[in-house]
Structure 1
Amino acid sequence: MSDALELDALWEDFHRVVNMTSAELAAWLRMRDADEETEPLPEEAGSPTGQHVLAILQKRRTDLTDDDVRVMRKVVDTVTAEADLENEPETVTTPEDTRRRHRLMTLGHDPLKP
């Protein structure tokens, strides 16, 4: 990270695109990984990136690691590329919309949330 201003901007961008709370994201990750018979342990639910986003949401800016910063950049880039941030909340009308929404929710962004 080159400087504090760059980190501040990334922190702001990350928290702008990640519009789910840590509780909402944790519940989503558990639900995504649950099946009819079992539910994963909370700390084992979801993708590694989803778990990392959850961990970042529970940190203070001063506690970020280089790996956190890398994941934050990846999440901001992915959500910005895949979501229509200007026109949210949006509607889900097709299976592809649902798949895209679920993919974004794994990163902490729910396009149906205002």
Structure 2
Amino acid sequence: MQKHNWDWKKLQKGRGIKVQIPNDIDKETGKQKYRPAIVIKSYPSHVKVQLMTTEPSGHDYFKIKIDNQIQYIRPIYYRTIPLEWINRIWRDNFNKPIQLDKNSTLFTKIQEMEIKENLNLNY
């Protein structure tokens, strides 16, 4: 796994990243998976992210289309990861980092999902 020195302050809420989780191997190809994620909160040693997947499941909370591909959001994919697992930052056609709006439907849904899951854990 390639190591990067990420400046955690630049990994703001809404930053799109690709995450390389150790031992997350594609069953068909046998290669390392690189999962898309959105930064929810960053710290000096780790970030909270919402991972996404292109595979639907009965546990999906909602879905969103990114780059003409449907991404599914699940509570299980709301994770805390070390900075070392970040592979790269999403960039637009002009090579500028992609920063999603913190007031977007995506963040509203993620916050609703987090609140709902926290309520479920408390009962």
TM-score calculated relative to the size of structure 2: 0.29
Which has the larger strand fraction? 2
Which has the larger helix fraction? 1
Query: Higher relative contact order by CA 8 Å / sep ≥ 6: 1 or 2?
Result: 1
TM-score calculated relative to the size of structure 1: 0.30
